[in-house]
Chain A
Amino acid sequence: MVEEIAAVARSAAAESGKPAISAAVTAALARVPRHRFVPPDQEHAAYENRPLPIGFGQTISQPYIVALMTDLMRVEPNHVVLEVGTGSGYQAAVLAELAQSVCTIEIIEPLAVEAQRRLQQQGYTRVRTKTGDGYYGWEDCGPFDSIIVTAAASHVPPPLIRQLKPGGRMVIPVGTAFLTQHLLLVAKNTDGTIVTRQVLPVRFVPLTGGH
């Protein structure tokens, strides 16, 4: 799976002229046992580059998208990271491979309980889990160097922006179950001003067909 992601990223990078997904991120993905984070009936497909259902109408993202989102967050070993929408716990595990600590919130209780169990079982002690409303972030855990919001949101919760450190980055996938349309990167400048970048996962040049 990791080789496939690296290959996809390399080809995407070659087309776009942008750097591929960082080695640290691909290494993190290689270390996390993805099959432990999917329902038993999906284990056979755990390492395919595709999104998978995890119950309650939620999905675990396509590994390439996980890699891309993680890469966009630019996580450093001393970082404190917030995740809103734990889901299966897989993304939190990947982040825990890179960051000092990860705080993750899930609103659907059974998913939260299951993810917590999995993360503990896999020894991810640096991940703190919580069931509840992600809108107000996690004051006690923050401020955060980066935030990922995988829960659907009609707007970016202002409390999350507040809990993002200056220089911090927030990533929000925009789309529906199984279908991530694009990624929104919210960057908080050192002066506190906010800039967003909309990132299309695919290297797809749409404007005038002839590229």
Chain B
Amino acid sequence: MCRMSSPPLAAVALLSAAALGYEVLLMRLFSIILWHHFAYMIISVAMLGYGAAGAFVALMQRQLLPRFERVFVAAAAGFGVTAIGCFLLAQSVGFNPLEMLWDPGQPLRLLIVYALLSLPFFCAATCVCLTFSRFADAPHRIYSFDILGAGAGCLAILGALSVTSPAGALQWIGALGLVAAALAAQRLRVRPRWLPAALLGGAAVLAINSPSQWAALHPSAYKDLSQTLAIRDTRVVAERSSPMGWITVVESPLIPFRYAPGMSLNAIMEPPPQLGVFTDGDGPAALTRYDGKSEPLAYLDALTSALPYHLLERPRVLVLGAGAGGDVLQAIYHGAREIDAVEVNPQIVDLVQHRFADYSGMPYSATGVRVHIGEARHFVMAHADRFELIQMSLLDAFGASSAGLYAISESYLYTVEALREYLDHLEPGGLLAITRWVNLPPRDALKLFATAVAALEARGSERPALQLVLIRGWKTATLLVKNGEVTSAQIVALKEFCHSRSFDVAYYPGIDPAELNRFNVLERPEFHEGALALLGPQREAFIASYKFNIAPATDDHPYFFEFFKWRTLPELLALKAQGGLPLLEWAYPVLAATLVQAALASLLLILLPLWIGAGRVHKVVGWSRWRVTAYFAAIGFAFMFIEIAFIQKFILFLAHPLYAVAVVLCAFLVFAGLGSRYSSRLRAKLHGARLQPLGWVVVATGLFALSYLVFLPVVFRPLLPLPDAARIALSIGLIAPLAFTMGMPFPLGLASVAGGSRDLVAWAWGINACASVVAAILATLLAIHLGLNAVVVLAVALYVLAAVAYR
């Protein structure tokens, strides 16, 4: 076998691209077959396959390095095969997270899922890590191809998901693994000679074959869509797939959809025929049949969200999160003068306006209606128009919302700053109306109320108490925030509205306690008591002592749906027999459990090899094992902290959760890759200088990161109306210098370590990989508690720690 003088860089880049694409794709796949937060947990833990590969290579390099070429090709092909095979096996394990706390068999199934899904990451990482060990004198080149590949991968997977289904994308990723193996086999001249051709043939078969039964997704039977499709004669009439979600439109002729959330119990009408619209199998939202006649829409007047139309005269309305058009129909029914509707997912609008145009009556092109494709908050911030009513209702499905599934997903729609923006876009006397599900004990409604009070105060309102109204039905609650004081005529109208529909008033200026709790009786008028407490001087104490987190969400803590408090957990667990568990907001404890699992697994991956291989891993001059651990863990944490915090900060500016992640991640990786390339030159340039190259890098990174915290909000505000392309270019320009410097510590450290002993290279790589995985989870937890700015500050401190550890 021929000894190669240069590493198989193209194969490394391709594998890194495929592995990153696989990570994103698994998120989509598991969001479809299970639920988003469990998807996050499974993938976070599986990613530790990277760290495991580091430990594996560190321990086995004596055996692996002489066979580098064959191992590389086998592991790359192994990635291709396991990426598909392990996912299919994992979905057949029958893991049901909903039974985790009841069924002792579930944790074992979860463990099997982890083990299966870590295999592909293990294979890909074995290739990359082994390359670092084999070519220990060129870490900057390998690292740059590694992360440039990853950067390309995050754009490529979004592209792939835009043109094919998630199942199709899975096949493509499997094919990429085989292509990487073929490239490596060719480059490294691995025999037999026909091997590259055979691998390419296999890749072609995978890529060209359309996803068939064997690759079909099997969503959990407890997903809303699965439950609906169990009903006789229901059928899927349209499907759309994009990186934003898998949309399924379902027709149910025998048992029609009758979606009228929280309709008044006094109402006797039935909603008109509807189609159910499911996103990732959750929902449904209703696509309502509309033929231009208003009578069938009368049910829309029996919802709590109809209240503002009874306090305003034919308003000019802005509907945020228009979806399949329910709120727009409600506005049309109430004779709104003009309607602007904003929806982020173009495929939903396309379904309403084109595929089901005859059915929907094309509400988005009705007289006076304009539809805008875009993110709601950005639309408001980027436009100067003012409205008489801004309407937001129930953007999330009840099932997902009640289980607290969104707790760890950021939302910039319900922050103090967002509400301020909405209020700034109201005409004097205009109303902001937000409808949420009623949950008990009250969570959403009170957090929203607290947020509104904070927003009003931030705008300089002296008496927020005079600008707020809160009503509730048996299933929904609607909050009104007025740009001005609520008038006595409006109070009369709202009382009449509630009385005739058997809704309860929970708060309005001057509310009489005798009016409380009349139609939908609670043990105590908790909504009212909460509203009063939030308006009074004891607000902070009330929020602090409340058993759920109802502190207002802000742009720095953008977690509106996070209600979990640790001190309530023992009580809920103790009440398991009484049915206390459903009150547990799931996502946060799942996130915490993920962190614990990932941290334990990481320790296992680091400590175990350290212990087993104590004799083998030699001390390098100046680099003790603990120093290596501290350095590579610190830069792993710091890199991820900054990346994740800035992804969040750019989401608001780029105005699209998904594309912001792709652009920011890609820019970070690409410029870090370039930084990595440059690091060897910097090292040569600063050879013998008083301040080590790492010192310069840390100072520069710290300056960029910290100054951005101050400077970005100021820069972003006036630039929001710029077109998408300009904002993307600007974002990339801003990320470039920061990422460029952040790309250097890893190769600089690795070069220094490798200068002493090659044995420690794989070891350092494994530590860094584990730290990155744990850091991604920890960053979200820290952001929930301390805010995003604190995460960045912490990252800078970690870089300083790394500089201290660097010899």
Q: Give the B-binding residues of A (Cβ under 8 A).
A: 4, 8, 12, 45, 48-51, 53, 55-58, 62, 64-65, 68, 107-109, 132-133, 135, 152, 154-158, 161-162, 174-182, 184, 186, 194-198, 200-204, 206-210
Q: Could you tell me how many residues of chain B have their Cβ less than 8 Å away from some Cβ of chain A?
A: 65
The answer for the CA separation of A203 and B260 in the assembled complex, in Å, is 30
Tell me the chain B residues, 475-514 only, with Cβ under 8 Å from chain A.
475, 502
A181 to B582, CA, bound (A): 5
Residue of A nearest to B397 (CB): A176
Task: Kindly identify which residue among A156, A174, A203, A206 contacts B546, using a CB–CB cutoff of 8 Å.
Answer: A206
Q: Which B202-247 residues have C-beta < 8 A from chain A? A: 220-223, 226-227, 230-232
Given A200-B440, A206-B441, also A186-B265 (CB < 8 A): yes
B221 CB contacts on chain A under 8 angstroms: 53, 55-57
Contact of A179 among B231, B267, B518, B582 (CB under 8 A): B582
Bound CA–CA A12/B221 (angstroms):
33
C-alpha spacing A167/B521, complex, angstroms: 17
Q: How far is the CB of A68 from chain B (nearest CB, A)?
A: 8
B261: nearest residue on chain A (CB-CB)?
A154
Q: Name the contact of A204 in the complex, choosing from B96, B266, B583 (C-beta under 8 A).
A: B583
With contacts A194-B266, A208-B545 taken as known, whether A62 is within 8 angstroms of B579 at the C-beta atoms is yes
> Which residues on A sit within 8 Å (CB–CB) of B260?
154-155
| CB of B6 closer than 8 Å to a CB of A | no
Q: Which residues of B contact A53 (CB under 8 A)?
A: 96, 99, 221
Partner of A206, one of B227, B402, B526: B526
Q: List 26 A-B contacts (CB under 8 A).
A: A8-B577, A8-B578, A12-B578, A48-B102, A56-B227, A57-B227, A107-B255, A132-B255, A154-B261, A158-B267, A161-B265, A174-B402, A176-B399, A178-B98, A181-B402, A181-B439, A195-B502, A196-B521, A198-B521, A200-B440, A204-B572, A206-B526, A207-B530, A207-B546, A208-B542, A208-B546
List the 5 closest pairs (A to B, CB-CB), nearest first: A206-B441, A155-B263, A57-B221, A179-B582, A201-B579
Knowing A12-B578, A158-B267 touch, does A174 contact B222 (C-beta < 8 A)? no
Q: Can you name the residue of chain A whose Cβ is closest to the Cβ of B100?
A: A178
Q: Are A108 and B578 in contact (CB under 8 A)?
A: no
| Cβ contact within 8 Å between B526 and A207 | yes
**Measured CA separation A162–B463 after assembly (Å):** 45
CB closest residue in chain B, given A158: B268
> Chain B: which residue is nearest A176 at the CB level?
B399
Secondary structure at chain B's binding surface: helix, strand, loop or mixed?
loop
Determine which residue in A152, A157, A194, A204 has the highest number of CB atoms from chain B within 10 A of its CB, and name it.
A204
Contacts of A157 in B (CB 8 A): 258
Contacts of A177 in B (CB 8 A): 98, 222, 227
A204 vs B441: C-alpha distance in the bound complex, in angstroms?
A: 9
- Interchain CB contact under 8 A, A51 and B402: no
Nearest chain B residue, comparing its CB with the CB of A187: B521
Please state if A155 and B262 are interface contacts (CB–CB under 8 Å). Answer: yes
Q: Is B269 an interface residue (CB 8 A)?
A: yes
Output the residue of B102, B518, B548 with the most chain A CB within 10 A.
B102
B230 is contacted by which of A56, A194, A203, A204 (Cβ under 8 Å)? A56
Whether B222 contacts A198 by the Cβ 8 Å rule is no
- Residues of B whose CB lies within 8 Å of any CB of A are 96, 98-99, 102-103, 220-223, 226-227, 230-232, 254-255, 258-263, 265-270, 398-399, 402-403, 438-441, 474-475, 502, 518-524, 526, 529-530, 542, 545-548, 567, 571-572, 575, 577-583
Q: Which one of A12, A132, A158, A178 contacts B99 once the chains associate, using CB atoms below 8 Å?
A: A178
Q: How far apart sit A139 and B64, CA to CA, in the bound complex (Å)?
A: 76
A206 and B261: CB pair below 8 A?
no
In the bound complex, what is the Cα–Cα distance between A8 and B474 (angstroms)? Answer: 27
**Closest partner residue, chain A, to B271 (CB atom):** A155
CA of A207 to CA of B548, assembled, Å: 9
- How far apart are A194's CB and chain B's nearest CB, in angstroms? 5
By the criterion CB–CB under 8 Å, are B578 and A203 in contact? yes
- A45: chain B residues within 8 A (beta carbon): 103
Q: How many Å lie between the Cα of A181 and that of B261 in the bound state?
A: 16
Docked pose: A107 CA to B253 CA in angstroms: 13
- Whether B474 lies near A49 (C-beta < 8 A) is no
Please name the residue on chain B nearest to A65 by beta carbon.
Answer: B579
Given contacts A158-B269, A174-B475, A196-B520, contact A202 B546 (CB under 8 A): no
Q: CB distance A194 to B521 under 8 Å? A: no
The one of B263, B438, B441, B579 in contact with A64, judged by C-beta atoms closer than 8 angstroms, is: B579
In whole Å, how far is A199's beta carbon from the nearest beta carbon of chain B? Answer: 8
Q: Contacts of A132 on B, CB cut-off 8 Å?
A: 254-255
Q: Using known A-B contacts A57-B221, A57-B222, A208-B546, determine if residue A175 contacts B582 with beta carbons closer than 8 Å.
A: yes
Distance of A102 from chain B, by nearest CB (Å): 21
User: When A154-B261, A158-B270, A200-B440 are in contact, do A181 and B547 touch as well, CB less than 8 Å?
Assistant: no
Contact A184 B403 (CB under 8 A): no
Bound together, the chains give a CA A176 to CA B400 distance in angstroms of 9
Assembled-state Cα–Cα distance A194/B575 (Å): 31
Q: CB distance B440 to A182 under 8 Å?
A: yes
Cross-chain contact A133 with B440 (CB below 8 angstroms): no
Given contacts A158-B269, A179-B98, contact A108 B231 (CB under 8 A): yes
* Residue among B438, B571, B578 with max Cβ neighbours from chain A (10 Å): B578
Taking a contact as CB atoms under 8 Å apart, the answer to whether B227 and A179 are in contact is no
A16-B96 Cα distance, complex, nearest whole Å:
34
Q: Give every chain A residue within 8 A of B263 (Cβ-Cβ).
A: 154-156
B262: nearest residue on chain A (CB-CB)?
A155
CB <8 Å contact, B547 and A206: yes
* Bound CA–CA A188/B267 (angstroms): 14
Task: Tell me the smallest distance from the CB of A115 to a CB of chain B, in Å.
Answer: 14
Residue among B96, B258, B266, B475 facing the most chain A CB atoms (10 A cut-off) = B475
In the complex, the answer to whether B222 meets A184 with C-beta atoms within 8 Å is no
B265 and A194 contacting across the interface, CB-CB below 8 Å:
yes
Minimum distance in angstroms from B271 CB to a CB of chain A: 8
Nearest CB to that of A182 among chain B residues? B440
Contacts of B103 in A (CB 8 A): 45
Q: Is the CB of B265 within 8 A of A156?
A: yes
Bound-complex Cα distance A181 to B221 (A): 20
**Chain B proximity of A185: nearest CB distance (Å):** 9
**A57-B577 contact, Cβ under 8 Å, with A135-B258, A209-B545:** no
Output the residue of A57, A65, A132, A201 with the most chain B CB within 10 A. A57
Q: Residues of B contacting A196 with CB < 8 Å? A: 265, 474, 502, 519-521
Min C-beta distance of A146 to chain B, whole Å: 16
Residues of chain B with a CB closer than 8 A to A57's CB: 220-223, 226-227, 230
